[in-house]
Structures are given as C-alpha cells and as structure tokens.
Amino acid sequence: MKTYGLLLLPSHNRVYAQSAPGLARAELLVLDAAVLGGRLADVTTTVIGGVPYLTFRTEGLSARETDLLANLSSLYALFEIEDADAPGREPLLRPVGLSRLDRFASDLLTIQKYPGKTNEDFTKLLLNVTAMSCDTPERLLSGELRVLDPLCGRGTTLNQAVMYGLDAAGVERDAKSFDAYGTFLRQWLKNSRLKHRAETTTVRRDRRALGRRLHVELGESKELYKQGRVIDVTMINADTTAASDFFRPATFDLVVTDAPYGVQHGAAARAERTRSPLPLLRDALPVWARLLRPGGAVGIAWNTLVARRDELAGLLAELGFEVMDAEPYHGFLHRVDQAIVRDLVVARLPAPR
C-alpha cells in the first residue's frame, strides 16, 4: 500500500474555514466511489510539518486515476508520502505530476465579482460531485458532458464548465445579469485572443418574444476552431420554468445549480429576508428533469436555514430521481455567513432498463 497526501488550496481554507478538510474528504470519497472503485483507505487529515494534508492509502494510482484526482476542487498539490509510518523517520513527500483539465487561464473564473456570486471553488465542487454521480462520470475527462445551470446568475457554473471544455447552457431571469455575462464573456474572449462567434438574439414563437439568447462558440485554439471543434455556451434570459421552450428534451447530462438563498445581498443583507426556494423548485424541477437525459444527474446547492434536506430530497424522489444518500453526500454542509449555511443534494435520473 502507498500513502498519498493532498495539500488543500489556500483559497479553499479561506472560503470554508474549519469545514475545508471535511468538504475535501467528502468530494474525494464521492470521486473514489464513482471512478476509483471505492479503494481508497484511511481517508483522513494528517498534520505533516505543521501543515494539514488529506491523506489516504491505496495500491498506487494509474495515470488515468491521477488525471481524475487532479480536478478535485480542493487540490493544490498531491504527494506520495514515503516513510509515512516509519518510527523515528521524517516522512518524505514526493510530488505526483498532475495534469488538470483546465483549458484556459484562471481569470475566466475570477474576473467577475458581484454580490450574489457563487464562490468559484464551491461551484467547481458542485459540478464535480454532480458529474461523479451521473452514469458516465469518466466523460468529464473527455469533455463530453453537457451542463445546464437553470438559475445561472452571471454564469459561474458556465465558466467552470467551459474551463473543463464542456458545452454549457444557463437560464437567468434577471436581465442585468444576462447582459453583464454577455459583456464579460465577449470581452474576455477578445482579451484572451480566442477565436469565437457570439450573438444575442430574441427567441420568438408565433411572433411572441419568449426571451433573449446569448449564443457563443469558442475555440480552445485557432486550429480546433477551424475544425469546428468548439465549446458551445448558451445563456437564456427568461424564467427557468420556461426552460423547455429553449432546449430539446433529454439533451443535458448534468443540471448544476445554486438555488436562491432567500437572502438579500449587499447593503440590504442586514435587513434579512428569508424565503424558501421550495416553491420555485417545485415548479421548476419537473421542467429541468425533462431536459436531463436518463442516467444524468442534478446537483443543487441551497441554504439550509430556509429549507430542509428531506424537503428537497422528497421533491426529487417524487419526480423519480434516485437521491444520492451514501455517507460522503452528507459531508458537504458548511457555513457561508450568518444568514447562509449551505449544503448540496445530488440525484440521478434512472436510465431505462
């Protein structure tokens, strides 16, 4: 058996404070169950040289396995630890070479800053855990999963999907957020000198305007763009309960979203208003379920101070989803601020037998 130690990103510790090691452990265990055959043993926090590492033991890791681990949202560096338990000897850390999926510079995720933005580390965690819960998790590596964020704000999930090379779509009711995302993405593509086509149109049916659509096709390189191997990004400005007016049924592998917190952001936050996302989810989930292909997964983050896990799980189960209930899926609860204690729930749409 070999011992490995995962050094957490400093930003992870800042975002989650004391919850960081627990969240990293839960994400690692979900990945282990999905694609490593559940063979990681003794997953725990170990302090080495005064610094905490998430350590685990296994019979070595193949290149494909390190490629999967490399995308954990908490991962800064991975080491193989020699002499982890040798009495009287200092452990020796040997870096494991990592190749992350990241296709673009990190400013794609970090430039936009606005009240109500979902933290980008957490967005990556939610996307990862949802991807690991669909019936074809390895397709994350080949860039084949299609992602929908049906409450997409200014596109944090879309940007993380693009970072992974995945096609992404979003729906957002707020016109200002829709406009801001279009402006950001066009500017970022221009500054990054990436070949692309971008257009904003109004989608109509029977001459009635249903909503606006931003459609972008971008190439990771000039060559790929010329070959038509593009990443497709769509954002719709409409109510999410009308999402099926814009997308064909069963065309997404993953629905990944951060539900409204029922809290006003910015200055108004002090005069807290708490509102449950359940009525919205009750109306919207059947629509989202139709857009998801069988075997696909949905991951929803929400504020536990305004809705209970069993209420969300109940809504999903009523629609025929299999709610993920294994131990690691109960390890994601964490405090964001005084008004938000966030958790996530993940469920899979059963594939036909």
Ligand X SMILES: C[S@@+](CC[C@H](N)C(=O)[O-])C[C@H]1O[C@@H](n2cnc3c(N)ncnc32)[C@H](O)[C@@H]1O
Q: Does 237 bind ligand X (CB under 6 A)?
A: no
Which burial class, exposed, middle or buried, applies to 260 when counting CB atoms under 10 A from its CB (0-12, 13-18, 19+)?
middle
- Residue 154 binds to ligand X (criterion: CB under 6 A): yes
Q: Smallest distance from the beta carbon of 180 to ligand X, in angstroms? A: 9
Figure out which of the listed residues 156, 235, 288, 323 binds ligand X, where binding follows CB under 6 A.
156
Residues 55-114 that bind ligand X (CB under 6 A): none
Site for ligand X in 170-189 (CB under 6 A): 171-174, 177
From the list 32, 121, 167, 258, which residue makes contact with ligand X (rule: CB under 6 A)? 258
CB 240, min distance to ligand X, A: 4
- Interacting residues with ligand X between 284 and 313 (CB under 6 A): none
Task: Kindly give, in sequence order, each residue whose CB lies less than 8 Å from that of residue 3, ignoring residues fewer than 6 positions away.
Answer: 55, 56, 57, 80, 81, 84, 85
Q: For residue 260, state whether it binds ligand X (rule: CB under 6 A).
A: yes
Q: Which residue in the shown chain puts its C-beta closest to ligand X?
A: 153
Residue 153 found at the interface with ligand X (CB under 6 A):
yes
Show the site string, 116-145: x = touches ligand X by CB under 6 A, - = not. Answer: xxx---------------------------
Q: How far is the CB of 126 from ligand X (least distance, A)?
A: 9
Nearer to ligand X by Cβ, of 32 and 172: the residue is: 172
Told to check if 280 binds ligand X by CB under 6 A, we report yes
Binding residue count for ligand X, defined by CB under 6 A: 20
For ligand X, the binding residues (CB under 6 A) are 116-118, 151-154, 156-157, 171-174, 177, 239-240, 258, 260-261, 280
